[in-house]
Amino acid sequence: MIKKTREPDLAGVPGGPVLQALGVHKVYDEGPARVRVLEDVSLAVQAGEMLAIVGASGSGKSTLLHVLGLLDQPTSGSVRVAGVEAAALSESQKSVLRNRKLGFVYQFHHLLSEFTALDNVAMPLIVRRMPRSQARERAREALAKVGLAARALHAPGQLSGGERQRVALARALVGEPACVLADEPTGNLDRHTAQGMFDLLVQVNQELGTAFVIVTHDLDLAGRAGRRLTMADGKLG
């Protein structure tokens, strides 16, 4: 008899944490040095919560976001996205889960320079094989949410730094993720523009109920999140 392997349900488990790390360790073992970056990190991010992570440069914040976002594997321990255990998934299943449940914003916008803001924002939906006209319609709505409806047909090179980060946020939101992982999203902006960007993150969190995990150097901004944790010596506390 052929035993059929059960397909994991990538729709996730409703009601539980949107993201979970359980006893996660990450060791980089390249070259002569073993770098222990994450040591027994456990974390649960609840639906709709806004969590800030602070910590010195090199303390492992980006590594943690990569592991939480299924872009990197922990050396040991487990990561669950919407209750789905990542270790059991193939790379393509991880991509599907990431595309459906998570959004990403980085310090640098990573927009494609040859595409308009609208088409950049539509990209995660095109990847989902949504018809182009419908994807563009949703992208328009997402751009309106970040106050950039009028800039839809501009290329990234025609936008200011703050506007580009807003487009990156719209791209992260267009798929209606449960949680956005933002790695120093204001790190490349001047003080005033950074405040405006953070205001927008708070507004989106409150209006759409999207959970956020935001890595930032800025303690003032971090203080505005619902919860704040610090990375130090590989530990999160």
DSSP 3-state helix, strand, coil percentages of the chain (rounded to 5)?
Answer: 35, 25, 40
Which residue, 20 or 62, is less far from Mg ion as judged by CB?
62
Kindly tell me which residue out of 19, 41, 52, 62 binds ligand ADP, with binding defined by CB under 6 A.
62
Only segment of 13-21, 62-70, 72-80, 142-150 that touches Mg ion (CB under 5 A): 62-70
Q: Is 205 in the site for Mg ion (CB under 5 A)?
A: no
Q: Is 60 in the site for ligand ADP (CB under 6 A)?
A: yes
Kindly report the backbone phi and psi dihedral angles of residue 162, in degrees, each rounded to the nearest multiple of 5, phi listed first. -65, -40
Q: 102 with 21: CB under 8 angstroms?
A: no
Which helix (H) or strand (E) segment is 24 a member of? Answer: strand 19-28
Which residue, 55 or 177, is less far from ligand ADP as judged by CB?
55
What is the smallest separation between the CB atom of 108 and ligand ADP, expressed in angstroms? Answer: 14
Q: Is 55 in the site for ligand ADP (CB under 6 A)?
A: yes
Kindly tell me which residue out of 12, 20, 63, 79 binds ligand ADP, with binding defined by CB under 6 A.
63
Contacts of 31 (CB under 8 A, 6+ apart): none
Ranges within 6-35 binding ligand ADP (CB under 6 A): 28, 30, 35
Only segment of 61-69, 79-87, 174-182, 205-213 that touches ligand ADP (CB under 6 A): 61-69
Region class of 147: left (phi > 0), else alpha (psi between -120 and 50), else beta: left
Which residue, 27 or 96, is less far from ligand ADP as judged by CB?
27
Only segment of 11-19, 53-61, 130-138, 174-182 that touches ligand ADP (CB under 6 A): 53-61
Residues facing 215 on adjacent strands: 53, 183
What is the smallest separation between the CB atom of 75 and ligand ADP, expressed in angstroms? Answer: 12
| Helices (H), ranges, the chain | 61-68, 91-101, 117-127, 132-145, 161-173, 191-208, 219-222
Q: 99 with 175: CB under 8 angstroms?
A: yes
Q: Is 62 in the site for Mg ion (CB under 5 A)?
A: yes
